[in-house]
Amino acid sequence: MMGPAHSLSGAAAWLGVGAAAAAAGHTMPWPVLVAGALICAGAALAPDLDHKAATISRAFGPVSRGLCEIVDKLSYAVYKATKKPGDPSRSGGHRTLTHTWLWAVLIGAGASVLAITGGRWAVLALLAVHMVLAIEGLLWRATRGSSSDVLVWLLAAASAWIIAGVLDKPGNGADWLFTEPGQEYLWLGLPIVLGALVHDIGDALTVSGCPILWPIPIGRKRWYPIGPPKVLRFRAGSWVELKVLMPAFMLLGGVGGAAALNFI
């Protein structure tokens, strides 16, 4: 799928988690719901850091472009080192390592560790990075062109500062889910894991499928492209994505948010 659909699906997924939490009697504080939805929307773009044309690879200028080259080479090296006889030859690392459940868990766990060991500045950095991606994904029409980059970065930095300030207030969710002293913001890794997994599931619906289960082997392949029957798949950017899935994500997100806040 393309960036906007990925971001919408990430936001909708976290709002759905909020609805499930409310139904179970553990309603999320509204700042956690909002922050988590934005983080998840941003994280849902992150697996495409292995593709130079992806939104995330362009979002931070030379820094993200350089990181993209490193991730692509790393992914390709891991693919070559671990592929089985049934896996096809490749010339790059797109839709390999960063599109697996293991990568999602490692990235989320790393973010949680950074949040609880790095202090306020680490939390602000995590929020700011994902705010940039959320803005790029959700407001993609307004952020086209290099002239808007600085404005997006400033908006993301301001948003991160405000959101962290709200979350820090007692009862607003800095210690949501993990309440022991020193565990504030440990939950930040959860929307990051969810966003990456939702991205992978979205890509699995497309023609190429997605090797989500790596490194678990399936038959003669270790990089088996998981997906529905081919007749149900679609091409990225096709009318199915733009006219069916994106409106569905918006509708589901709205319903999930209303349920999470106990409005319905």
Task: Summarize pLDDT for 115-141 with one digit per residue, the tens.
Answer: 999 989 999 999 999 999 999 988 876
Enter the tokens of residue 89.
């030859």
Task: Provide the pLDDT for residue 179.
Answer: 83
Six-digit token string for 145: 């062109």
Query: Low-confidence residues of the chain, pLDDT below 50?
Result: none
Of 168, 75, 162, 63, residue with least CA distance to 119: 168
> Could you tell me the two tokens for 56?
């995330």
CA distance 9 to 248: 9
Can you give the pLDDT at residue 242?
A: 87
Q: Which residues, in sequence order, are CB contacts of 236 under 8 Å at separation 6+?
A: 1, 2, 203, 206, 207
The per-residue pLDDT of the chain, averaged, comes to 92
Q: Helix, strand or coil for residue 221?
A: strand
DSSP-H helix ranges across 24-148 = 30-43, 55-59, 62-82, 101-117, 119-138
Query: Model confidence over 56-90: pLDDT tens digits?
Result: 998 898 999 999 999 999 999 999 999 999 999 98
Count Cβ atoms below 10 Å from residue 51 Cβ, excluding itself: 19
3-state secondary structure of 91: coil
Angle (CA) 104 14 107, round 5°:
20
pTM, rounded to two decimals: 0.93
Q: How far apart are CA 188 and CA 116, in angstroms?
A: 10
User: Residue written as tokens 């500062």?
Assistant: 161
| 194, 198, 200, 204 alpha-carbon torsion, rounded to 10° | 150
Nearest to 213 by CA among 91, 84, 73, 109: 84
